[in-house]
Amino acid sequence: MRLWNQFLWHQALAWSLLAAGLVIGSLAGAVPVRNPPVHDGYWILAADFHVHGFPGDGALAPWMLRSEAVQQGLDVIAITNHNRTGAARLGAALPRADGEPLVLMGQEVTAPNFHLIAVGIQKEIDWRQPPAAIIDDIHAQGGAAIAAHPFKSYWGYDDAALTKLDGVEAAPSSRTNRVRRVEVNAFFDRAVQLRPQIAPIGSSDYHFSGPLGYCRTYVVAREWSVGGVVDAIRDGRTVAYDDRGTGRGDPARVAIVEKIRREAADVRGFEVWRHISVALTLVGMFLVVVTVGAVREPPLQ
């Protein structure tokens, strides 16, 4: 009986730690609604146009991605699963309160020798077409076409397609090796030669780890809407940032965005409480597994 009482006491402790972790996490995770800055009549929107969601090869459901976008100070995200639009459709359909990030319907058109991000589309794009036809399809749906991680193995675009591209992911993360960095720069330079106003894009390609928006794009948009964002990409009104804080784009726009980034308040909650919450939750969960789960059997009564 004494052993059984001890076992119950351990269970109570386990669940209490777990509950405390969740409560602290919920309280510490509250982030105030933030409105993006406006400069000379243009919204300066922080965006991540390459995000994978659940169901798909992403960890988080669309509403969780939007909640995380708030935490990371993003104003726009596009959910872009491989050749599938279910999660993106769900994300775009979520009701949106004032100040909440805009979720664009997107797709990472995954073809044998190129990956193309379609943002602001209405329905799934068929990957079996040539790249120029895919871009035409994206434009016909009112979207914008962005070359994804343009390393050499993804250079399957002919000149006809390159001249139609609206943007290129041109801000590789610090995890990208030197050779691939050179390849991205070569692709971007070639794209600029063929279409000088092509938009530089920074994206996280978020799946299971990130954080969301650690490489990001600042969009200079006339309005904070799907149309406003797509128009800005098509006109090349963007600045791409990698995770080291290096901006790429028109120098005047980079200067404006630099100023905004310096002035931006840290939107994240209290970091110490976040750590405490995670620690309590993990310890509580571990004890739950040990006592309730399976690591050892309950003592006989």
Partner 1 sequence: MSAPPSAYRRLASGHHASLAGALKRPLLVAIILGTSVCIYAIHRVTLGLMLSAVLTWSFAVIVQLLAAAAFVASSKRRRVSLPAAMDLFFMGHAPWSLWLLAVAAWAAWLPHPLKMDYIVLATAAVPFAWTAVIVFAFCREVLNDPPRLAVIRTLFHQSLIWTFTGVYIAVVVALWPRIIGTLAS
Q: Which residues bind partner 1 (CB under 8 A)?
A: 21-23, 25-26, 28-29, 54-57, 59-61, 63-64, 67-68, 71, 81-84, 110-113, 127, 153, 173-175, 207-212, 214, 243, 274-275, 277-278, 281-282, 285-286, 288-289, 292-297
Amino acid at 93: A
Among residues 217, 111, 118, 229, which one has the least CA distance to residue 165?
118
Lookup: tokens for 60: 């988080």
For residues 11 and 291, the answer to whether their CB atoms sit within 8 Å is yes
Closer of 82 and 96 to partner 1 (Cβ): 82
In sequence order, what are the beta bridge partners of 216? 241
Closer of 96 and 244 to partner 1 (Cβ): 244
Closer of 55 and 99 to partner 1 (Cβ): 55
Closer of 18 and 256 to partner 1 (Cβ): 18
| Residue 130: other Cβ atoms inside 10 A | 14
Min CB(258)–partner 1 separation in Å: 21
For residues 117 and 80, the answer to whether their CB atoms sit within 8 Å is yes
Respond yes or no on whether the N-terminal peptide bond of residue 112 is cis (omega within 30° of 0).
no
In sequence order, what are the beta bridge partners of 92? none
| Residue 98: other Cβ atoms inside 10 A | 6
- The separation between the first and the last C-alpha atoms of the chain, rounded to the nearest angstrom, is 6
Min CB(115)–partner 1 separation in Å: 9
Min CB(248)–partner 1 separation in Å: 18
**Integer Cα distance of 218 and 272 in angstroms:** 29
Closer of 60 and 233 to partner 1 (Cβ): 60
Min CB(219)–partner 1 separation in Å: 23
Min CB(39)–partner 1 separation in Å: 29
| Residue 269: other Cβ atoms inside 10 A | 17
Lookup: tokens for 220: 């200079």
Closer of 67 and 185 to partner 1 (Cβ): 67
Min CB(265)–partner 1 separation in Å: 19
